[in-house]
Structure 1
Amino acid sequence: MIEELLKSRQGPLTEDLVQEPGEFGLGKVPARLKPAATTTSICGYCATGCQLKLHLDRDGNAINLSPQASYPVNLGMACPKGWQALDPLTADDRGTVPLLRDPATGQRKPVDWETALGVFVDGFRSIQDKHGRDAAAFLSTGQIPFEEMAFLGCLWKFGMGFLHGDANTRQCMATAVTAYKQSFGFDAPPATYADFEESDVIVLVGANLCIAHPILWQRVMRNRRNPKIIVIDPRSTETAQAANLHLPIRPKGDLPLYYALAHCILRDGRIDEASVARTEGYAEFAEFVKAFTPQSVSDVTGIAAETIEQLAATVSEPGKRVSWWWTMGVNQSHEGVRTAQAIINLCLITGNIGRPGTGPNSITGQCNAMGSRLFSNTTSMVGGHDFANQAHREKVARRLGIGEDRIPKDTSLEYDRILAAAEAGEIKGLWIVATNPFHSWIDSGRLAALRDKLEFLVVQDMYHSTESATEADLFLPAAGWGEKSGCFINSERRIGTIKPVRWPPGQTLSDFRIFRLIANAWGCADMFSEWTDTESAFRILRDLTEDQPCDITGITDYEHLDRMGGIQWPFPARTETGDADTEPAPERRLFEDENYYTDSGKAKILFSPPSALPEPPDTGYPFLMLTGRGTSSQWHTQSRTSKSDILRKLYPAGAYVEIHPEDAAEFGIEPNQAVNVSSRRGTMTASAYLAPTVQRGHIFIPMHYPEVNRLTHPSFDPHSRQPNYKACAVTIRPASAGHR
């Protein structure tokens, strides 16, 4: 019984597992056995993937932590969020019991798990019976282990029989995923973090590593090759100020810039013939970029023609190792896929791929966004497979021991189209797991109207207080990082383990155990009878990757991952000689053999003409609003970092807007004055921060504050469906002057 399990969670905690019987099918749970003095766990914030050493008391509960010196990612370093990673676990607003909204009063009241499960099943089964498989969807996350992601996706689609589900990695990494898939035949970030230390030229595009990924900036600082560091960014960010060269590009002028660089490189014959021979589309690309002279793009990019010529020479110098790295400044764009592919094309034509210190390298956002990309079973089938591919469906069905008819041939709607369908009244039920779209989604004011169209909204989260949780009909309290086990995959494809170091509070359960309960209550528990715990699920998912580019069948178990300091995919079970390979190299790049994952084995050079900004400034809204990370102490919607007394002291409590001093003077704005920032969708109030690091005509607001996405423009990349968070037209006035 659930009650017996909850009562048992009073003694010491270790990673040892025992079978917990009961009608609710909870599976294996931590046993009360002897604890270790320390354990390790991958940090649960960003996708850098730092390993932390957690120091335990005699009952196995974490009392402190420190960065792990021997781990090949962080090498003994941690950012402020990592140092304070335990703080969010003891927050006052942790969910400790299921909450059900009373339709008569509108108030949420505590219920037991049996009642909550009954309401869950009745709600979604009623929608399915009345409206069909397309009438409900889940929205998941890049913040939970991939074993839980896979369980959710397989349960929803194969067990419960629904179709639609997507993850909030759509907001951060869909552009990179699509660019890699189209160019290389698979979602394949090629680099390893050692390449930061092996490059002669490091180009950072829309990437403020000093703030967003400080440990990666430290890896840059370890480079002993005296690298030239080039930052391409509209703002003079902390990283730009530390670089050798900052190119203050006009927002979304990067695509024509990269075409102009290619123009110069091809014109001057500075290509790598062997690398070009391993591509398709080169001749068409060479003809296309003839029109993109440095002079022709100077106005749209804001970069002088002479500077473009110099940059082209720098990134194509024979014998130099050139690496390109990008984050949300590229991904969160109306044409991000083609921009990422323009970077990929530059690496292909210059031969800067598959070698130390090179590559077109996306830096992932969330701690397990890469796990979501491979295993969430959302718009791609679990294990990096394709729902439309019959051989893939047969393989997955066979390995999971289910009928192929349980696997849909159709692909889910993407995140934005799920919400649009809900807004249109076509999707009636929504299950939100470990994410907060009522804060984080673009043009967030539309979600309030969307909520009225839903018959049933379930939110499963650590906290009952998030903007999304407070809207739910049913809230399910879930354990967080530090309270469960599983695996994350970081930006360099490295798989590492997380460990439970304290019991979750009250009646809170891990997402994995909640999914087991739901499978049992729905009546499909037999389908997941072998998913008894996260390591059992890991072995199932590991075997599913056989013969895929992400093949990890050579990984034995969690202990293998810990012993090797994490393992990068791919790592198949046998080498070419047929011998078992249990000692993978600590750093491994993709495409060292110049073979890609396309049918031809060649990379595809893809391109299309640049498109205009979806919402340029005009007389009514004369400023272009940019968004991004604020400080290294903040994370996304702040549902966790706001729980740390120490982190809260390291960033401004309220929203602020950076504006150039000359613009501030023109609009009568004083330092620290309250101002109203308005777009065509909404208005927010912020404190003015006069900053010459912002170009005239631009403002910058950190994305972490809930008001920001009332302003952002709902435009999307046509290939990836990733939102364009980075540029929209706004006006700004002193708060006392009112607003539009």
Structure 2
Amino acid sequence: MSITTDNKLIAKSGPLKLVGDMILARDGHLTRELLLEPAKFGLGKTREAESPDATTTAVCGFCSTGCGLEIHLKEGRAVTLTPATDWPVNLGMACPKGWEALTVLNSPDRATRPLKKNANGKLEPTSWDDALKTFCDQLKGVQSRHGNDSVAFLSTGQIATEEMAFLGSLAKFGMGMLHGDGNTRQCMATAATAYKESFGFDAPPFSYADFEESDTLVFIGSNLCIAHPILWERVLRNPHKPEIIVIDPRLTETAQAATTHLQIQPKSDLTLLYTVANLLIQNDWIDRDFIAQHTNHFDEFAQHVAAYTLERAVERTGLPEQTIIDFAEKIHRGERVSFWWTMGVNQSHEGVRTAQAMINLALMTGNIGRPGTGANSVTGQCNAMGSRLFSNTTNLLGGHSFTNPADRQKVADILEIPVERIPTENSWAYDQIIEGIKEDKVKGLWVIATNPAHSWIHQNGLHEILQKLEFLVVQDMYTTTETAQLADLVLPAAGWGEKEGSFINSERRFGLHKKVSPAPGEALADFQIFRAIAGYWGCGDMFSKWTAPERVFETMQQLSQGQPCDISGIGGYQDLDDRRGVQWPFAAGETDIASERRLFADGQFFHADQKAKFRFEETRLPGETASEEYPFTLLTGRGTAAQWHTQTRTAKSGVLRKLYPNMLQVDLHPADAKELGIAPHEEIFVESKRGVIKAHANLTAAVQRGHVFMPMHWETVNQLTFAEFDPYSRQPSYKNAAVRLRRRQDG
């Protein structure tokens, strides 16, 4: 690359030097113009359509389904979109969020300039140069006063895999941080931990084709109709007239469409699953050959579940005895049985063991590795799988281990860095980082593309804790998130559609998303922000080869070699684009190029002996249950298909806002409402030991007596939730707080 001296931009910037492809001014800092217009120097080039009025395809950036969208361009800029008919995930379908993916980019509260808190505590615009100097000066200052471990980061499942890898490498190898986690901890940590312990690696075994090939589908804690409507469409395409069994305390939309609904008591699913396992064993409805050849610890598991009698299950679940027997018989009769779960399992005080109870049922009946089978977690965020494998948070890059010397050396060699730069211990989990702030061990926090001030459990407690920080940086698309409003520094980031990279969906499919629209104002791709920070921090040389996201992808391919998630055979971004995504593993020399593939067809798992493990434990009650003072159990979950997480994006669409209530509602049973004198739509108080909020009463038999339900998307709901965590995954249990209801006129 050559730079001519007559370039006006360079002339006014002063003498420059080249480090990798990062052009630095005389003072060692990236020029503001370079950051905002890297294309002027031939840098940061993104994959755009050849014709300015062409159509290009990209993977959606909302949920983990990973739908393909056709982006229609005019004069080189996206103007509208339609679902991609040839994408193997959605087959020409899109949910309301997908249809509005471009609309939410155009919002007046977009972060368009860096913002810095002034002496009066107000955020005001500043330059990128000042913002980056402030970032480094403040966080280095915190580290000098309190130690390197006094600064932590909280990442996301919403940015590109390449950006996650860059962030985790920059923070841990370049900036010396030990502690960093992601909001994936709130949705998928349970599934990841369950798979690691049972299979030897975090490996969802399924393909979406299994929705159409099962003759018996079991959904536990999953309202697929609402949370993943395109996947429910795949269920509806099933030609086998399948048995659809939904296990959920609520009569959800998915439960209403099922052939069987087991309306259990909250957090009793583990007891139910152990009892069903016991029934299958007692009746010899198990695959003993598969168990003997491909699993360990079955005898101990059989002994454990022998104590889970029908009487015990009836008492704990509230289900009739015959219903439980019928459930076991349906699993036995099914030739292709698949088990599916989402947040109702993951967000639990014993979620890992519940997920493993489903894995155990699949293993003991031989329902794994074949079409239409598996114990299958449906992920939440668009790139939670990317976060699980490549964010450098819960494990070292590429599914390696921080505590394994050979893994550290492999990663160091590939990145060409001293192995001493790689931490030898695991990071604290999200809740432990928050506790570290509370205990004055963490004094600086960098939050990227997530909104913990809204989404974290026991919200009021978190707001108090964040006030203890000496410095809070928020990097986001919007300035109005609850967390950005608390920040000392806000870095404006580009969103989906304004940058490029890859996501990994629930079925392990890498999909490419592209830059089809310019970011507003001075906002930059997270990738560019990380490169700039590396330069200002003084560790830019460490990442000099990462000049564009695809260069990071190539490094990820090297890191993945020899791992279960090996992607060394993918031919770069062009291959991902041409093939409409590629499921991992796809190693160099791989010949199976089928668009949909599943794991464990050969019965070989990822433990050293290639066998799966039965994992189990005694059940226990949640840490908080309904009482005389707080007689209702609060359930939380998806509101509608038009809402997403903290509504940071979906609230920006007028179309999506029309598809969900314009006020917070609390669902309660009509008999409970009558007993309390509560009228339909009346505004009432919902109160826990942690807070009290207002909501409008929605009377419905979809909830059982003694239960109430509220959608998680509203900013006040987590003022009520009870901070309890699964001991293995450290995932919060959002769905079992005890509350009481009060009419406003009662004071």
Within 2, Cα distance between the matches of 1:678 and 1:401? 55
1:40: which partner in 2? Answer: 57
8 Å contact from structure 1 (residues 635, 641) kept in 2: yes
1:484: which partner in 2? Answer: 499
Within 2, Cα distance between the matches of 1:168 and 1:30? 29
8 Å contact from structure 2 (residues 498, 518) kept in 1: yes
2:571: which partner in 1? Answer: 556
Report the CA distance shift for 1:6/1:693 in structure 2 as closer, same or farther (over 3 A): farther
Q: Does 1:736 align with 2:745?
A: yes
Q: Does 1:460 align with 2:460?
A: no
Aligned counterparts, 1:322-341, within 5 A: 322-341=337-356
Within 2, Cα distance between the matches of 1:296 and 1:693? 25
8 Å contact from structure 1 (residues 654, 686) kept in 2: yes
Report the CA distance shift for 1:654/1:5 in structure 2 as closer, same or farther (over 3 A): farther
Within 1, Cα distance between the matches of 2:173 and 2:228? 37
1:641: which partner in 2? Answer: 650
Aligned counterparts, 1:174-185, within 5 A: 174-185=189-200
Q: Does 1:73 align with 2:89?
A: yes
Within 1, Cα distance between the matches of 2:51 and 2:332? 58
Within 1, Cα distance between the matches of 2:151 and 2:664? 35
Paired letter, 1:402: I
Any runs of at least 4 consecutive aligned residues in structure 1 with deviations exceeding 6 A, and if so which?
A: 4-8
Paired letter, 2:536: A
Q: Which structure 2 segments of 5+ residues have no match? A: 11-19
2:16: which partner in 1? Answer: none
Aligned counterparts, 1:40-189, within 5 A: 40-58=57-75, 60-102=76-118, 104-189=119-204
- For residue 191 of structure 2, give the secondary structure of its aligned residue in structure 1: helix
> Cα offset for 1:128?
1.1
2:205: which partner in 1? Answer: 190
> Cα offset for 1:562?
1.3
User: Please, which of 306, 313, 322 is the counterpart of residue 290 of structure 1?
Assistant: 306
8 Å contact from structure 2 (residues 21, 544) kept in 1: no
2:484: which partner in 1? Answer: 469
Within 1, Cα distance between the matches of 2:662 and 2:543? 45
Q: Does 1:446 align with 2:479?
A: no
> Cα offset for 1:19?
6.5
TM-score, L = length of structure 1: 0.95
Paired letter, 2:172: K
Report the CA distance shift for 1:20/1:519 in structure 2 as closer, same or farther (over 3 A): closer
Provide Cα deviations, 1:531-581, integer angstroms capped at 9, x if missing partner.
Answer: 101011111111110000000000011110111121000000024xxxxx4
Q: Does 1:212 align with 2:227?
A: yes
Report the CA distance shift for 1:34/1:197 in structure 2 as closer, same or farther (over 3 A): closer
> Cα offset for 1:600?
1.3
Within 2, Cα distance between the matches of 1:109 and 1:678? 37
8 Å contact from structure 2 (residues 340, 377) kept in 1: yes
Q: Does 1:621 align with 2:627?
A: no
1:709: which partner in 2? Answer: 718
> Cα offset for 1:107?
1.0
8 Å contact from structure 1 (residues 19, 29) kept in 2: no
> Cα offset for 1:348?
0.3
Within 1, Cα distance between the matches of 2:492 and 2:582? 32
Within 2, Cα distance between the matches of 1:316 and 1:532? 54
1:358: which partner in 2? Answer: 373
1:426: which partner in 2? Answer: 441
Q: Which structure 1 segments of 5+ residues have no match? A: 9-17, 576-580
1:14: which partner in 2? Answer: none
- For residue 306 of structure 2, give the secondary structure of its aligned residue in structure 1: helix
Report the CA distance shift for 1:7/1:730 in structure 2 as closer, same or farther (over 3 A): farther
Within 2, Cα distance between the matches of 1:613 and 1:166? 25
Provide Cα deviations, 1:484-510, integer angstroms capped at 9, x if missing partner.
Answer: 000000000000000011110101000
2:15: which partner in 1? Answer: none
- For residue 225 of structure 1, give the secondary structure of its aligned residue in structure 2: coil
- For residue 518 of structure 1, give the secondary structure of its aligned residue in structure 2: helix
User: Please, which of 606, 619, 631 is the counterpart of residue 640 of structure 2?
Assistant: 631
- For residue 56 of structure 1, give the secondary structure of its aligned residue in structure 2: strand
Q: Does 1:301 align with 2:317?
A: yes
Percent of matched pairs sharing the same residue? 56
- For residue 427 of structure 1, give the secondary structure of its aligned residue in structure 2: coil
Paired letter, 2:435: A
1:698: which partner in 2? Answer: 707
- For residue 619 of structure 1, give the secondary structure of its aligned residue in structure 2: coil
Q: Does 1:590 align with 2:599?
A: yes
Provide Cα deviations, 1:47-90, integer angstroms capped at 9, x if missing partner.
Answer: 000010000002x1110000000000000000000001111111
1:508: which partner in 2? Answer: 523
Within 1, Cα distance between the matches of 2:741 and 2:8? 53
1:540: which partner in 2? Answer: 555
1:12: which partner in 2? Answer: none
- For residue 235 of structure 2, give the secondary structure of its aligned residue in structure 1: helix
8 Å contact from structure 2 (residues 180, 393) kept in 1: yes
Within 1, Cα distance between the matches of 2:54 and 2:22? 26
Within 2, Cα distance between the matches of 1:633 and 1:269? 45
Q: Does 1:281 align with 2:290?
A: no
> Cα offset for 1:325?
0.4
Paired letter, 2:267: K
Q: Does 1:681 align with 2:686?
A: no
Paired letter, 1:50: C
8 Å contact from structure 1 (residues 6, 507) kept in 2: no
Deviates more, 1:28-37 or 1:361-370: 28-37
> Cα offset for 1:307?
1.1
Within 2, Cα distance between the matches of 1:338 and 1:372? 22
> Cα offset for 1:452?
2.1
Provide Cα deviations, 1:390-429, integer angstroms capped at 9, x if missing partner.
Answer: 0000000000000100001011000000001101111000
Within 2, Cα distance between the matches of 1:206 and 1:379? 24
> Cα offset for 1:734?
1.3
Within 2, Cα distance between the matches of 1:735 and 1:52? 47
Q: Does 1:722 align with 2:737?
A: no
8 Å contact from structure 1 (residues 202, 228) kept in 2: yes
> Cα offset for 1:593?
0.6
Q: Does 1:412 align with 2:412?
A: no
- For residue 332 of structure 2, give the secondary structure of its aligned residue in structure 1: coil
Provide Cα deviations, 1:571-628, integer angstroms capped at 9, x if missing partner.
Answer: 00024xxxxx4x6111111000101001111100010000112101001000000000
Q: How many residues align?
A: 718
8 Å contact from structure 2 (residues 291, 298) kept in 1: yes
Within 2, Cα distance between the matches of 1:6 and 1:539? 35
> Cα offset for 1:184?
0.4
Within 1, Cα distance between the matches of 2:553 and 2:709? 42
Within 2, Cα distance between the matches of 1:114 and 1:211? 44
Paired letter, 1:354: G
Provide Cα deviations, 1:83-108, integer angstroms capped at 9, x if missing partner.
Answer: 01111111000000000001x21111
Paired letter, 2:54: A
8 Å contact from structure 1 (residues 20, 29) kept in 2: no
Report the CA distance shift for 1:221/1:134 in structure 2 as closer, same or farther (over 3 A): same
- For residue 320 of structure 1, give the secondary structure of its aligned residue in structure 2: coil
- For residue 676 of structure 1, give the secondary structure of its aligned residue in structure 2: strand
Report the CA distance shift for 1:489/1:7 in structure 2 as closer, same or farther (over 3 A): farther
Within 2, Cα distance between the matches of 1:36 and 1:592? 45
> Cα offset for 1:30?
3.4
- For residue 158 of structure 1, give the secondary structure of its aligned residue in structure 2: helix
Within 2, Cα distance between the matches of 1:552 and 1:655? 44
> Cα offset for 1:316?
2.0
User: Please, which of 314, 320, 333 is the counterpart of residue 330 of structure 2?
Assistant: 314
Within 2, Cα distance between the matches of 1:456 and 1:77? 44
> Cα offset for 1:163?
0.6
